[in-house]
Structure formats: C-alpha cells, structure tokens
Amino acid sequence: MFDLVTGKAGHIPNHNAAPLLISSIAEAVAFTAAIAVPLLFIADRVPEVPSIIAFVAAAPPPPPPPPPLARAAAATGQKTVAASGPSIPIEAPAEIRAEAPGLPADDGVPGGVEDGIPGSIVGGVPGGAIEAPPPPPPAPAPAAAPRPVRIAGEVKAPALLTRVEPDYPRLAVAANITGVVILEATVNTEGEVTDVRVLRSVHPLLDFEAIKALKQWRYSPLTLNGHRSPFVLTVTLSFALKPAA
C-alpha cells in the first residue's frame, strides 16, 4: 500500500496461477463436449446423399457442306436466294421502262386520248376513243312453212288448169294388166304438184306412169283467209283396155 502511494510498484507474487489454469482447461473441455456430443447424434440421422449418375451423349454429326452455288456466292461476296420457284431479283433495277410489248416506242394505239402517256398517237384523238357502232339487229327468223291443208268436207279443191293423161305401157297392154291406181298429191302455193304417194297399187308399170303424169298437173292456188296455202288431195287414175273394134 505504501508502494502505490509513493509510485514505486513491485511484482506481487501470485500463488493461485495453477488452479486458475486447470479451471480454464476444464471449462474448455466441458464446452467442447457440450457442442460435440449433440453433433454426433445429429450426424447419425442425416440421410445419405445418393450418388449422381452422369450420362455423356455423343457429339452430333457435323452439318453437310453447302451446295456449290452457295460456296461460289460466298467466295465472290454476292447474295443469293434459294427458292424452288422462279428466281427473284434482290436488288431494284436502276431504271423502269413502261412499254407495251410488241409496240414501237414512238407509236401509239389508235383511239388514244389527248395528252396521254408517251408512245401514244401524237396529238391524240379529240374527244377520246371512237366508240364502235352498235351491232345490227338480229335478222328475223324465217317464218315456218304453212302445213298443207287436206281437201275434204268444206274445203274444196281448186280448179284443175292442166291435166296430163298417163301412158299405157305396151307390156301392160300385152299382159292385159288393168286396174285403178289411187294417188295422194301435195300441191304448193303456186298450184304445182311437188310430191306424189301411191295409196293403192296395181302394177309397178302402171304406178310409174300414173306418178309421172300426175306430177305434170297444175291447179289454181288455194286461198284461205286471204293467204295462199298448200293442199293435199287424192287422185284416182284408171287403166283399162279398149274393146277391140
């Protein structure tokens, strides 16, 4: 105590150093055991980490080489476009000329318009293109031929103007062939016999002569309601031998 007052301090011997060191070591061992023992129990309960299986895939094959056209374009530095259809130009043309195919550059089209596009008729056509005239009207359809009227009942046959008798064939006379031939004659609007049909035949020789003679007959025209009309009538021709004198 006196030394502290006077400022002269000396070493005070400590007789309790060994017990203090032993006590510190015991505390460290107890603290370490308190931490390590729980960790041992926890380590037994930690699940095992499964092993990882790694698959290594084979490297993909190298891409095929480019076609010759692409290689040539790549070598020259030009751009190409691959297409299945017709080729399409990539760069715009330097000049666009609008000209009709097949026409000269200085000639126009007949029927142009004044101040038209280049290549038209010089001066144009006043008033524009000339319109085509309207088509002519269709020709009237030909009138259907009137049907022949059959002579019967109230319709009377016109007057017979010319009558030609049939010839009697010598072979028919020698064979003693006789009979009545019934014919149907068609007469036109002029009174001419145009068609003859055999309704009753006797013999081909007599039929032929009867038709030949009837086609030479002429009638007056038949007029019905102010209009001429063809007609059909029945004619009877008789072939008979004259008695010997």
In a domain, 176, yes or no: yes
- Establish if 168 belongs to a structural domain: yes
- Tens digit of each residue's pLDDT (9 = 90 or more) over 115-146: 555 555 555 555 555 677 888 888 888 877 78
Distances (CA, A) of 35 to 21, 23, 32: 22, 19, 5
Residue 1 tokens read as: 């105590």
Distances (CA, A) of 217 to 184, 202, 210, 214: 13, 21, 11, 5
**Would you state the pLDDT for residue 139?**
86
Q: Is residue 19 part of a domain?
A: no
How does pLDDT run across 66-82, given as a tens digit for each residue?
A: 676 655 555 555 554 44
pTM summary value: 0.43
Query: Is 14 part of any domain?
Result: no
Number of domains within the chain: 1
Pairing of strands 193-200, 149-150: unpaired
Residue 219 maps to a domain: yes
Domain of residue 156, residue span? 149-239
Could you tell me if residue 133 is inside a domain?
A: no
Q: CB–CB of 125/113 below 8 Å? A: yes
Q: Has residue 130 been placed in a domain?
A: no
pLDDT tens track for 144-160? 778 899 998 888 989 99
CATH number at residue 164: 3.30.2420.10
Q: Is the pLDDT of residue 54 over 80?
A: no
Q: Is residue 101 part of a domain?
A: no
